[in-house]
Amino acid sequence: MKTTITFLCFLATAVLALPATAQHQGHQQQPKDTVTHQMGQQDHSQHMGMQHGTMQMPMSHAFSRNLPMSRNASGTGWLPDASPMYGNMFHRGNWMLMLHYNLFLRYNKQDVFEVGERGDSQFDAPNWFMLMGQRFIGNRGLLRFSGMISLDPLTVGSNGYPLLFQTGETFEGSPLIDRQHPHDLFSELSVGYTHMLSEEADVFVYLGYPGEPALSNVAFMHRPSALNNPDSPLGHHWQDATHISFGVATLGVRYRNFKLEGSSFTGREPDEERYNFDMPRFDSRAVRFTYNPSTNWSLQASTAFVKSPEVAEPDEDVYRTTASVLYGNMLSGDNRYFTASANWGYNYVDAHHKEHSFLLESNLQNDRFAVYGRYEFVQKSAEELGFEEEAFGHDETLGVNALTVGANRQLTEIGTVNVHLGAQVSLFRAGSQLHPYYGEFPVSGQVYLRLFPRLMVPRM
């Protein structure tokens, strides 16, 4: 059954992308200095769009008529302007529409050499599909919407996929441990409106059910430095797990390359019923400050009170603080770039429960070939990993290190769908207390086919 569903996902992706083939063949790659010059400009006429027949087609950022489209990220977040965008672009009347997706067909083996007792293996297909649209309203307004679905509940399974040392959310009433939970079928349904005060200033509002509050870095599923890696970070619930919140309202203001925004949102993470809409609570709050000092960098710092995020710990509230640095650099030649991300996340519950996480990842795309890596350090309690606290000492915090390296290469192109063959290896190292259960150096590996759209190079 799962094999049939996986094949249908592959077929649907190819069919969805085929109608855009002719349009993308008409878009030519621009020289590096031309692209960099365009992204660094604040010229109003550039971001107003392009003429196609008699229709005005907006080509701006989703939350500003005067910022480049390449700054688009998940939720209301920012990427560096020198970031690649993969997708299919369509125009319908005054609307500009973009289709983005990422699909992995893979075999995943955790603890390849079986040095511990907590490994597992699985054939699965992590995936997401997003449709975005935007249009100008009058002389100063910008309206946008975004809808994202994930077929993870079908192609990965209700209990997610195996991933050593991963924790968060539940299956059949029990916490998921050494597994990454599947994402909800409806992962984002949001609308936003921006009003231009001047070419240097905007105010905007964002509403999502579900949606992503102004907290943390760009969600890992949408970071250019993470797109080639099928796995969620181990620090997901210390950094960007709020990217699916059932009830989000964000108000923000931009001045030049500074942005300040605040959100009210539902702190409880999605329940294990992956096809429904959870109750909106609006019981949590977040504030985020973002600054893009140049076309290559994006910096953010955020803090939040998250009310009862885990269903297994309903009386436990979390104060979450994050900071991150994103880097992007378009290299000379077609589809060549280097991207990187450094993320720090900190969860504070009380004086006895405070945990840090750190992530450093990068990706080098050399046209049809990519190499990438990720290093993580995360602190987790014995209880989070399924052990009785008494076995390790009361309130013991356990440190986990993980290093992943991978590579992939294009096999073929079906219409506008890239098909890449890849593999990656992960090496884990935890404290000696965990060696009897995980082994000293557990190693995990996977091979995969990745399906995603080609690079977008819109003609200005």
Q: Is there a contact between 215 and 176 (Cβ–Cβ < 8 Å)?
A: no
Give the model confidence (pLDDT) of 5-35 as tens digits. Answer: 444 444 444 434 434 333 333 333 333 443 3
d(Cα 237, Cα 324) in Å, to the nearest integer?
15
Per-residue pLDDT for 219 more than 70? Answer: yes
Q: Is there a contact between 325 and 341 (Cβ–Cβ < 8 Å)?
A: yes
Nearest CA among 103, 122, 146 for reference residue 8: 103
Q: What's 2's DSSP letter?
A: H
* pLDDT on residue 333: 85
Nearest CA among 260, 183, 234, 244 for reference residue 212: 244
Q: How far is CA 444 from CA 125, 308, 448, 458, in A?
A: 17, 32, 14, 39
Q: Is there a contact between 216 and 189 (Cβ–Cβ < 8 Å)?
A: no
Residue type, 263: S
Per-residue pLDDT for 356 more than 60? Answer: yes
Q: Could you report how far apart the first and last alpha carbons of the chain are, in Å? A: 46
How many CA atoms, within 13 angstroms, populate the side-chain half-sphere of residue 355?
24
Give the model confidence (pLDDT) of 409-458 as tens digits. Answer: 999 999 999 999 999 999 999 999 999 999 999 999 999 999 999 998 65
d(Cα 421, Cα 251) in Å, to the nearest integer?
42
The four Cα atoms 62, 219, 274, 319 give a dihedral, to 10 degrees, of -110
Instruction: Name which residue leads in pLDDT, 59 or 171.
Output: 171
User: Which has the minimum average pLDDT: 40-44, 71-75, 319-323?
Assistant: 40-44
Per-residue pLDDT for 2 more than 70? Answer: no
User: Which has the minimum average pLDDT: 27-36, 211-220, 325-334?
Assistant: 27-36
d(Cα 402, Cα 164) in Å, to the nearest integer?
10
* pLDDT on residue 274: 95
Per-residue pLDDT for 71 more than 90? Answer: yes
d(Cα 63, Cα 134) in Å, to the nearest integer?
9
Give residue for tokens 């960098």.
297
Helix (H/G/I), strand (E/B), else coil: 140 = coil
Mean pLDDT for the chain? Answer: 89
pTM of the model: 0.87
Instruction: Name which residue leads in pLDDT, 312 or 82.
Output: 82
Query: What are the structure tokens assigned to 437, written together?
Result: 């259960």
89-103 burial by CB neighbour count: b if 16+ within 10 A, else e? Answer: bebeeebbbbbbbbb
d(Cα 243, Cα 250) in Å, to the nearest integer?
13
* pLDDT on residue 392: 83
Predicted confidence band at 351 (pLDDT cuts at 50, 70, 90)? confident
Mean local confidence (pLDDT), 108-118: 97
Per-residue pLDDT for 299 more than 90? Answer: yes
Query: What are the structure tokens assigned to 408, written together?
Result: 């992939």
> Percentage of the chain with pLDDT > 70?
87
Mean local confidence (pLDDT), 260-272: 97
Mean local confidence (pLDDT), 241-255: 97
Per-residue pLDDT for 180 more than 90? Answer: yes
User: Which has the minimum average pLDDT: 14-23, 126-135, 361-370, 424-433?
Assistant: 14-23
Q: How far is CA 216 from CA 84, 106, 333, 441, in A?
A: 21, 29, 32, 30
Mean local confidence (pLDDT), 401-405: 98
Mean local confidence (pLDDT), 362-373: 97
* Helix (H) or strand (E) segment spanning residue 294: strand 284-294
Q: Is there a contact between 287 and 305 (Cβ–Cβ < 8 Å)?
A: no
Pairing type for strands 248-255 and 258-265 reads: antiparallel
Per-residue pLDDT for 37 more than 70? Answer: no
Helix (H/G/I), strand (E/B), else coil: 353 = strand
Q: Is there a contact between 97 and 91 (Cβ–Cβ < 8 Å)?
A: yes
d(Cα 384, Cα 241) in Å, to the nearest integer?
16
Per-residue pLDDT for 110 more than 60? Answer: yes
d(Cα 39, Cα 46) in Å, to the nearest integer?
10
Predicted confidence band at 58 (pLDDT cuts at 50, 70, 90)? low
Mean local confidence (pLDDT), 96-101: 96
Mean local confidence (pLDDT), 188-205: 98
